[in-house]
Amino acid sequence: MPRKVDHEWRRAEITDAVVRLAGRSGLSGVTFREVAAEAGISVALVQRYFETKRNLILRTAEAVSIGMTDRFVGRLAKLGPDGPILDRLRELALSFLPTDEESRRALIFYHQVGAVGLTDPTMRGVEAHGRADRLVDLVADMLRQGQELAEVDDTVDAIVEARILLALMVGLSLSVLLENQDLDQVTTAIDSQLARLRRIPLPGKTNRMIQREVSSRSTRSIESGMSVWDRSSRHRPR
């Protein structure tokens, strides 16, 4: 196995241990000693790879962010390349919910990093939260696309709507994790919010008919927009 791959595998093993630990006892439970024990390696090795606790948290946030993106991309892929925009947005929203152990841990980590960022501005630029603007732009682009394809109500302001949807997703995922709502209630909320964005078909002309009139180039630009987001999340600053 080439050395680089080996290093990446080792780093992933360590950041996975961080996410498991943080999911059990919070970020305050993340120490080099505990991480080493959880990963089954030496403290010296964890230190060699990550140097500081801050760096360990940042790199783990980055790994969690990549995992969430992969999750979303995987859900989108199931819809095929021409899935309706509102269905795509639904997949995006659902991929931010704690529906299994992996997403549950990822979201707990995401919210914990957010809580640290409340009092430590140097932690606000981390992957998990620093890409908020790009995510708003992605959702806004999808909504504009939907308007062009006559699937989304063209009276809504795409940027405002994108900010609403993303803030809603943050609040809903938190309420599931804190057991104030269950997954069914939250899914109903997402569907209800998205249903409002749907364009009401014109009499005598279905949305699908209008859609066929619109060039298919626009679908391409969404895919490339997502790739930018995807690529940037894979960019390793270190």
Contact positions vs its own copies (CB under 8 A)? 22-26, 28, 108, 111-112, 114-121, 124, 129, 132-133, 157, 160-161, 163-164, 166-172, 174-175, 177-181, 185-186, 188-189, 192-193, 196
Nearest distance from residue 160's CB to its own copies, in Å?
Answer: 5
What is the distance between the alpha carbons of residues 88 and 75, in angstroms, rounded to a whole number?
Answer: 9
Half-sphere exposure of 153 (CA within 13 A, CB side): 11
Looking at the Cβ atoms of 83 and 114, the one nearer to its own copies is 114
Taking the complex as a whole, how short is the minimal distance between the CB of residue 94 and its own copies, in angstroms?
14
Shortest distance (Å) from residue 130 CB to its own copies: 9
The least distance separating its own copies from the CB of residue 24, rounded to whole angstroms, comes to: 6
Residue nearer to its own copies on the CB measure, 1 or 118? 118
Asked whether 106 and 68 are in contact (CB, 8 A), the reply is yes
**Shorter beta-carbon distance to its own copies: residue 24 or 205:** 24
- Closest by alpha carbon to 135, among 85, 89, 67? 89
Q: Which is nearer to its own copies, 10 or 134 (CB)?
A: 134
Which tokens go with 79?
């819809």
Task: Report the residue number, 71 or 105, with the smaller CB distance to its own copies.
Answer: 105
**Centroid of chain to Cα 123:** 18
Tell me how far apart the alpha carbons of residues 71 and 223 are, in angstroms, rounded to a whole number.
16
CA distance 66 to 34: 24
Residues 120 and 148: their CA atoms lie apart, in Å, by: 41
What is the smallest separation between the CB atom of 27 and its own copies, expressed in angstroms? 8
